[in-house]
A and B are shown apart, each in its own frame.
Chain A
Amino acid sequence: MKSFNYERASAPEGAIHAGAAKGAKFLAGGTNLVDLMKYGIESPSTLVDINHLELKQVVANPDGGVIIDALVRNSDLADHPLIKTQYPLLSQALLSGASPQLRNMATTGGNLMQRTRCYYFTDVNFPACNKRAPGSGCAAIKGYNRIHAVLGQTDKGSTSGESCIATNPSDMNVAMAALGAKIEVEGPKGKRTISFADFHKLPGATPWIETALRPDELIIAVTLPPAKFAKNAYYLKARDRNSYAFALISVAAGLEMDGDTIKSAGLALGGVAHKPWRNLEAEKALAGKATSPEVFRRAAEIMLRDAKGYEHNTFKIEMAKQGVVRALTLASLGTSETQGTSEGTQA
């Protein structure tokens, strides 16, 4: 590990000031950043420890929604009464992620910002990775790409400086995308609000730029709009073991029901793209329809339209479709108490 400066911030202003230094990084739970520092992938000049900021509340928003502070731990968020009752989709997604120990450390802001698990990104001994070393190429395209993207990736060949087929590994983000969250940030130039859809970016021609957050901006909070899907929500996660594994594919499905008819839907996929994958067309195709396997299947087809697989991950396309149908079906049957626990998501 390289040497670095350590600063502990006690207020957001101080954190933002310290974070403006060249090469500075915010340290939240550290469960992603510290690993990447040990692997030699991140080498911040200064670590600005934000764990002491008073940004640890979950509160009802006067607009009917909820405000989640950036330093709320994943386990606290999942267990918060407001979230459990109003936004069970988010609770389920959080509980399906990582392990209890990690969730006790991981924060809302850190989870939003966690980086890809692409093997070629996390091992500096692979020479080609545009995200880690811009312009070096993408080893994943001709490599072992089972955990990689099938939607929205940039593939101009393994040697192109623009290519990247990595995925965003977060579960929380998938639920927040389906819920239509917004992100409140603050930097030296002031505050702004970023919609969830704009926060994470597709690789485009600059795979090393992952979010709309500027390096000197601090995430203050995530806001959720008034809850629509409390009664009909399901987070489905297919993975290689029953806990403590990243999603092969995941589906966040929320339905606003009127009898058997879908009034509105929130739908997002994880494990398939560089960002939580949302397609408003699929949500529109569900709205106003009576629930049926055909309707769900059509939404699944729209979600996976133009998907392109690689040697080891083509299965994700069909698996994601099956997952969408299953998640929508279960959501339509009503949110159940056990969902999000290992019994709930498993047979």
Chain B
Amino acid sequence: MMADTAPTPAKQLDHRYEGIAKVTGKAKYAAEFSQPFPKANLAYAYIVQSTIPNGTIASVDRYAADLAPGVIAILTPFNAPKLAQGPPQPPARRNLSLLQDKDVHYNGQPIAVVVAKSLNEAKAAARLLTIKYVTKPAQVSFRERPGDARWPKNPGKEPAGNHRGDVQAGFAKSAVVIEQTYVTPIQHHNPMEPHATIAWWEGEKLNVYDATQYISGVKMSLAKTLDIPVDYVRVINPVVGGGFGSKGSMWSHVPLCAMAAKATGRPVKLVLEREQMFGPVGGRPSTVNKIKLGASADGKLLAMQHDVIMNASAMEDFTEHSAGPTKNLYMSESNSVTEKVVEVNLGVSTFMRAPGEAPGTAALEIAMDELAEKLKMDPVQFRLVNYAENDPSHDRPWTDKHLRECYSQAAERFGWSKRSATPGSVTEGNALIGYGMATATYPANRSAAQAVVRMLPGGRMFVGSGTQDLGTGTYTIMAQQAASGLGIDPSLVEVKLGDSTLPKAPVSGGSQSSASVLPAIQDATTQLKLKLADLAIADIASPLHGLKTLDIEIKEGKLFNKNNPSQADSLADLIARNGNKPVEAMGSAEPSESKDSMTSTSWGAVFAEVAVDKDTHMVKVRRVVGTYDIGTLLNKKTGLNQLVGGIVWSISFALHEEAHIDPVYGRVVNESLAEYHVPVNADIGAIDVTVLNIPDIKFNPIGSRGIGEIGITGAAAAVANAIYNATGKRVREYPITPDKIMAARGLA
């Protein structure tokens, strides 16, 4: 049921539900379990990866490895059990490397698994394998091959080409036109917790602890891949040390671990090494964005054209929809976007925090800055002139949009009015100071979800759903939602998630967990209230005995008569009289019908100040100010934390992150956190984030639109634009490292 008025906000927990368990080491991550199997039986698997980018495996000499101490089994394409691989599973149709053939498509592909009594023994034995290949010529770069670009085979939810109006006519009548190419690099997610699986069989039944964003997805994918009934698989994952999309689909190591467990008859643990996370578990593709914008002299966008090419693995297509924002972030008379892929011998690309919008805003929002400058307009004013009142890409209304307030509030807090419009004009000692801004955006998603709630003895409550907590706060907001249903304190709620025996919930990706799971909990608590009311009515010992269900209200741990509030019963007493038997209710929810008649999107405005050293060309992001319209803020701590974390990612996008591929061998050369740079504390200045906190009840009854990804959008371009404002140098290729600033041509 959809409420007409804003929902009463749930009482917030001040601290993360699982925070103490995490900081005291009691929270167990997937690789840390040593039960319920006999711990002594636990074996360790190590994945052997290819060292060529293209070809076939001619032979594996395993003689020395077989004799190495501790070795239990070695699986190779020559002896691995043949699988009847079922059709691919959502959310990503992954083409896995499960030793079923001898083909090598990229350097780093899993090609064998060594199982030993200890990890060190497994690794040592792996080095003793001699693998011979028949090599084929490989293509590992794509930028110089635009002629090889083709339409993606599976573009996903959005088409890879989209045209509205007549862009050529639009450019022809434009007073001002810019046309530039913006490049974003290949990135790898690198959550703190590496991918990890423990698999053990109980007869035909398979259990796994798995570091995943999608327990039900792993369950279905494992069942299909190994050709066993879905009900035979159980996936457990109570806490996740980050995923950012890389744990959104099941990768090869999970079935390989299950296969190793089957082959050895032991529980097997398989944890990826950090350097194994640069290829076999996905990454964000590099995008080359050719953007052309045209506007009238008074700044109205008349035409926007955005043509993208990106790398796709020879194994499988994935489309990074970086042209997405060009379709609907601003109102333009016309627009045209295309997204094409060029095949390379690299690992598979996948969703990475704000897929599409992160690189898309990074590119488009520099272009907008360039056009504003050419128009001699303030960048904020330019955006306001082209404010999209409706969704131009679908010609339909937004469920809600307060982006104007985001611009004005953030600009005010930042002190945007003090910006010098002349690049390179503000110095402090040896530093050039600059201001920049950009728009942030990310679509609001929602899927079907289910939840279970129970009223427990002592006024306590239980809530469960087969969702995941990636460190984002799912536990916390589930407790809050369940508690608010009965009007009790959230600290009285016990939460369970991350177990596939719980009611089903979607992948924790696309910023949709709260928008999907909370309405299901809301539904469950509504059912629970009815059951509790009926229990009281039927209970002769209850003061409410004999009343009508409709007359009973539940609040603050009490049931009472709406017409006579002094006639009340406590939930604890009710359950006690029920023989302390918990009362349970199920709930479910799915996207409302408005889904196809309206567009739901989150918004933000983000401003950055940088200092650029004149001689070292190093950048310091002194401060970032952002205001976001994300619907209801469910929990201050966990919500703002995600926005701040997103902005840190965006600074990383702007200045640091890039996987460098060797041009000959196609291996990622900087496959460690020493050389794959992400910001350190010294790189992050003050981050000041606020949200409007206006519920979007047309999107869902809770009014929240999800908060996990929008933070990484926009801020990268705000930093890039600030660097331009500081130096007069436009760097159009991320990350903006000191050498690129030094090399860029300044203003004459």
Residues of A within 8 A of B615 (CB): 236, 238, 322-323, 325-326
Q: Which of A2, A126, A237, A347 contacts B611 (CB 8 A)?
A: A347
Contact call B618/A239, Cβ cutoff below 8 A: yes
Q: Is the CB of A120 within 8 A of B739?
A: no
Identify which of A117, A315, A326, A347 contacts B675 (C-beta below 8 A).
A117
- Whether a CB of chain A sits under 8 angstroms from the CB of B553 is no
Closest to B612 in A: A347
B680 within 8 A of A: yes
Max count, chain B CB within 10 A of own CB: residue among A127, A242, A322, A326: A242
A47 to chain B, nearest CB (A): 15
A238 and B738 contact, Cβ closer than 8 Å, known pairs A119-B675, A347-B612: yes
B-contacting 9-mer, from A103-111, A243-251, A252-260:
A243-251
Q: Which of B107, B429, B738 contacts A240 (CB 8 A)?
A: B738
B677 touches A245 (CB 8 A): yes
Stretch binding the partner chain, chosen from B460-468, B640-648, B661-669, B711-719: B661-669
Q: How far is the CB of A274 from chain B (nearest CB, A)?
A: 19
Partner of A315, one of B431, B662, B664, B739: B739
Q: Which of B611, B670, B680 contacts A241 (CB 8 A)?
A: B680
Whether A319 touches B742, Cβ cut-off 8 Å, given contacts A119-B670, A143-B669, is yes
* Cβ-defined contact, A146 with B682, below 8 A: no
Task: Give 1 or 0 for each of A131-147: 1 = CB within 8 Å of chain B CB.
Answer: 00000000100111010
Q: Which residues of B contact A2 (CB under 8 A)?
A: 124
| Complex CA distance for A117 and B665, rounded to whole angstroms | 18
Quick check: A1 and B120 within 8 Å, CB to CB?
yes
Whether B123 is near chain A, meaning CB under 8 Å from some CB there, is: yes
- Is B93 engaged at the interface, CB distance under 8 Å to the other chain? no
Query: What's the nearest-Cβ distance from chain A to residue B121, in Å?
Result: 10
* Contact of B616 with A by CB under 8 A: yes
Q: Shortest distance in angstroms between B69's beta carbon and chain A's nearest beta carbon?
A: 9
- A7 CB, min distance to chain B CBs, angstroms: 20
Nearest B-chain residue to A245, judged by Cβ: B677
Contacts of B677 in A (CB 8 A): 240-241, 245
A342 interface contact, C-beta 8 A: yes
Interface size classification for chain B: 35 or more
**Cα–Cα distance between A123 and B675 once the two chains are bound (Å):** 13
Task: Give the interface SS of chain A, mostly helix, strand, loop or mixed.
Answer: loop
Q: How many Å lie between the Cα of A159 and that of B136 in the bound state? A: 20
Tell me how far the C-beta of B673 lies from the nearest C-beta in chain A, rounded to whole angstroms: 10
Contacting residues, chain B, for A10 (C-beta < 8 A):
none
Q: Is B683 close to A, CB under 8 A?
A: yes
* Nearest-neighbor residue (CB-CB) of B49 within chain A: A125
Contact status B683-A126, CB under 8 Å = no
Is A292 part of the binding interface, using a Cβ–Cβ cutoff of 8 Å?
A: no
Nearest-CB distance from A158 to chain B (Å)? 9
Verify if A306 is at the interface (C-beta below 8 Å from B). Answer: no
| Contact across chains for A243 and B663 when beta carbons are under 8 A apart | no
User: Is B428 touching A347 in the complex (CB atoms < 8 A)?
Assistant: yes
Do B682 and A243 touch across chains, with their CB atoms under 8 A apart?
yes
B679 interface contact, C-beta 8 A: yes
B447 neighbours in A (Cβ, 8 Å) = none
Interface centre among B612, B674, B739, B742 (most CB of A within 10 A): B739
Chain B residues, CB < 8 A from A236: 615-616
Q: B617 within 8 Å of A by Cβ?
A: yes
Q: Per-residue CB proximity of A320-347 to B under 8 Å, as 1/0?
A: 0011011000000000000000100111
Which A-chain residue is minimally distant from B429 (CB atoms)?
A347
Closest to B726 in A: A347
Known contacts A144-B660, A144-B661; is-contact A242 B616 (Cβ 8 Å): no
From B430, B615, B620, B667, residue with most partner A Cβ within 10 Å: B615
Is A242 touching B664 in the complex (CB atoms < 8 A)?
Answer: no
Given contacts A123-B669, A241-B655, A315-B743, contact A323 B127 (CB under 8 A): no
| Chain A residues positioned under 8 Å from B613 (CB to CB) | 346-347
B618 touches A319 (CB 8 A): no
Contact present for B667 and A125 (CB under 8 Å): yes
**Complex interface: chain A residues within 8 A of B690 (CB):** none
Q: With A and B bound together, what is the CA distance between A123 and B671 in angstroms?
A: 9
* Option from B124, B664, B680 in Cβ contact (under 8 Å) with A243: B680
* Residues in chain A near residue B682, CB distance under 8 A: 241-244, 342, 346
B 95-133 contacts with A by CB, 8 A:
107, 120, 123-124, 127
- B:606-635 near A, CB below 8 Å: 611-613, 615-618, 620
Cβ contacts under 8 Å, A241 to chain B: 655-656, 677, 679-680, 682-683
Asked if A81 is at the interface (CB within 8 A of a chain B CB), the reply is: no
Q: How far is the CA of A37 from the CA of B677 in the complex (A)?
A: 23
- Closest Cβ of chain B to A96, distance in Å, is 11
Contact with B along A156-174 (1 / 0, CB 8 A): 0000000000000000000
Chain A: interface residue count, which band? 35 or more
Query: Within residues 224 to 278 of chain A, which ones have a CB less than 8 A from any CB in chain B?
Result: 236-245, 248
Q: How far is the CA of A2 from the CA of B51 in the complex (A)?
A: 21
Contact string, A40-57, partner B, CB cutoff 8 A, digits 1/0? Answer: 100000000000000000
Do residues A248 and B738 form an inter-chain contact, with CB atoms below 8 A? yes
Given A241-B683, A242-B682, check contact A142 B618 (CB 8 Å): no
Determine if B681 is an interface residue (Cβ-Cβ < 8 Å). yes
A23 to B492, CA, bound (A): 63
Q: Smallest Cβ distance from B543 to chain A, in angstroms? A: 63
Nearest B residue to A158 via CB reads B664
**Provided the pairs A242-B618, A245-B677, A342-B682 are in contact, do residues A315 and B667 lie with their beta carbons within 8 angstroms?**
no
CB-CB under 8 A from A346, the residues of chain B are 611, 613, 618, 620, 682
Interface string of B708-748 (1 = CB under 8 A from A): 00000000000000000000000000000111001100000
A241 to B673, CA, bound (A): 13
The interface residues of chain B lying within 8 Å CB-to-CB of A144 are 660-663, 669
A281 within 8 A of B: no
Assembled-state Cα–Cα distance A36/B663 (Å): 24
Complex Cα distance A315/B737, Å? 11
User: Which residues of the partner chain B approach A315 to less than 8 Å between Cβ atoms?
Assistant: 739, 742-743
- Contact (A1, B123) CB under 8 Å given A119-B670, A242-B620, A248-B738: yes
How long is the Cα–Cα vector from A119 to B667 in the complex, in angstroms?
Answer: 10
Separation of A276 and B626 alpha carbons in the complex (Å): 44
Whether the Cβ atoms of A242 and B683 lie closer than 8 Å is yes
A28 to B624 Cα, complex, angstroms: 42
Bound-state CA distance A24–B613 (Å) is: 46
B670 — which chain A residues lie within 8 A by C-beta? 119
B residues less than 8 Å from A325 (CB atoms): 615
Q: Among the listed B120, B127, B739, B742, which residue makes an inter-chain contact with A40, where contact means beta carbons less than 8 Å apart?
A: B127
Q: B617 is contacted by which of A117, A238, A316 (Cβ under 8 Å)?
A: A238
Residues in chain B near residue A139, CB distance under 8 A: 662, 664-665
Cα(A224)–Cα(B670), bound, Å: 36
**Complex Cα–Cα for A322 and B127 (A):** 45
Shortest distance between the CB of A305 and any CB in chain B (Å)? 20
Verify if A198 is at the interface (C-beta below 8 Å from B): no
Query: B664: which A residues are within 8 A, CB to CB?
Result: 139, 142-143
Contact A123 B123 (CB under 8 A): no
A319 touches B123 (CB 8 A): no
Assuming the contacts A2-B124, A144-B663, A240-B656, asked whether A120 and B618 have C-beta atoms less than 8 A apart, the reply is no
CB of A17 to closest CB in B, whole Å: 29
CB interface residues, B 557-606, toward A, < 8 Å? none
Q: Is the CB–CB distance between A126 and B662 below 8 Å?
A: yes
Measured in the bound complex, the distance between the Cα atoms of B655 and A240 in whole Å is 8
A231–B124 Cα gap in the complex (Å)? 53
Query: A240: which B residues are within 8 A, CB to CB?
Result: 655-656, 677, 737-738
Question: What are 15 contact pairs spanning A and B, CB under 8 A?
Answer: A1-B120, A1-B123, A120-B662, A125-B51, A127-B665, A143-B663, A144-B669, A146-B739, A241-B679, A243-B680, A315-B739, A325-B615, A346-B613, A347-B429, A347-B613
| A-B pairs, 7 with minimum CB distance | A347-B431, A119-B669, A242-B682, A315-B739, A326-B615, A238-B616, A243-B682
- Other than the known A238-B738, A347-B432, what 10 A-B pairs have Cβ atoms closer than 8 Å? A117-B674, A119-B660, A127-B665, A144-B661, A241-B683, A242-B680, A244-B682, A248-B739, A315-B743, A347-B613
